[in-house]
Amino acid sequence: MYLHRAQQRVRAASFPDESDIHPCTAEEVDALEAKLGQPLPGAVREFLLWCGKGLGEIWSGARCLDYDELMNQFGLDGAREKLAEAGLDTSVLENALVIQFDEDAQFSFVKLNEGDDPPVYGLNEGEPLERHCDHFSDYVNLIVAQEFGVTPDDQREGPGAPADADAMGSAAQAQTGEDIIPAEWRSDPALRDADFGSMPPSIQQQLGKPQASFRASSANVVAGVIFGVIFLGFGLVLSIWLLVQAGKTGFNLPFVANQGMSWVILLVAELLSWAMAVVGVVMIRRLLKTSGDCVFVGDGGLCLMRKSTYEMVPWSAVAEIEELVIKEHAPVKWVGGLIPAGKDRMYDMRMNNGKHFLFNSTNIRNLALFRAILERVTSIYGIPWSVLQSRAPGMV
């Protein structure tokens, strides 16, 4: 059952009343499939059999997921027109079912060949076509959650969804909109920098209540750029010096020589110098790009912004968090006892789908606050947390 959570919310709220929920019959859904020429995704079919002809005041005023509208394919022509006006490819609507359409250049659709709980795509006025939700069930959860003023968990209903009652209870606790910032951190200036206004509305909805935002550490970026400039400068200076030395001989060099300059030594040294310069350029470019990245945190999850693209990470999709504590000593053994050991920390956030996200002092400016938020989230959602100790590579 894909829509179990949304149905639970409606039943728990006793709104809308059962008499205001109007399902489609199996025969009506079969008729829609016959008109489309192919089966509906399982989650869409389940929705229609639950409330395809009305869900009380929910969706009031919006042409959204209505059986009669779907039968008439009302939104399809309008969606094509909106895409064409925006200069976008209308072929994306091939094999699509438009599930929401309004007159403000906004619509949403699913593809009929992308599984039983397909992604939901959409267009908002003035924005590019984007993937609003990973699953149709998530989309329904969002709509229902908005009605009751809670933050959706972006959890998938159906096969593979957590059935454990404690896990569901913990998720529900996080949906109340409570702060995930520990009390001792709530006056931190970083919390006042959480500006979510620039991100797409669909991401804002999934993030929920703004909590904090984190940018890359400026100190690390500056240090990295300095090292990059050193590499670049040293490589260029070495290259020029080599050419000057060779020019003093009128470039009359032996191919190989036991002593002094030769063509082999010149070419090898030039390659090394240019390699250093290239490494310096790559370091500078990468760090300057990283400096514009940002991690937004809300009570529904976190969002990574890279190069003006957004990637949503719901808390409910996190499988475990691993904290790696790296002990740093002086690079020479006989000095190590005189200098106290330092520590660096890295947090590996592992998702249910196997994906990893790494956070450390390079991409998170206030790592202590970020750690406090992760600890709070793990306590709410029951996410496993493990700690590993390691020595920095190359230390003796």
Residue 10 pLDDT more than 90?
no
Tell me the whole-structure pTM to 2 decimals. 0.42
DSSP 72-85: HTHHHHHHHHHHHH
- Count of CB atoms within 10 A of residue 390's CB? 11
CA distance 155 to 142: 10
Task: Quickly count helices (H) and strands (E) in the chain.
Answer: 12, 13
At 139, which amino acid appears?
Y
Average pLDDT, the chain: 75
By C-alpha distance, which of 392, 224, 369, 202 is closest to 300? 202
3-state secondary structure (DSSP) of residue 359: strand
- Tens-digit pLDDT profile for residues 336-350: 444 444 457 889 999
Q: The sheet that has 210-215: what strands, in order across it?
A: 210-215, 294-298, 301-306, 309-314
Phi then psi for residue 337, to 5 deg, are: -70, -20
- Tens-digit pLDDT profile for residues 32-57: 999 999 999 999 999 998 888 887 76
Residue 245 sits at the vertex; the CA angle it makes with 244 and 250, to the nearest 5 degrees, is: 85
Spell out the alpha helix ranges (H) of the chain.
4-13, 26-36, 42-51, 67-72, 74-85, 136-148, 165-174, 201-207, 218-248, 263-290, 333-336, 367-381
CA distance 234 to 130: 45
- Tens-digit pLDDT profile for residues 146-196: 665 444 343 333 333 333 333 333 333 334 345 677 766 766 655 554 556
- Count of CB atoms within 10 A of residue 192's CB? 10
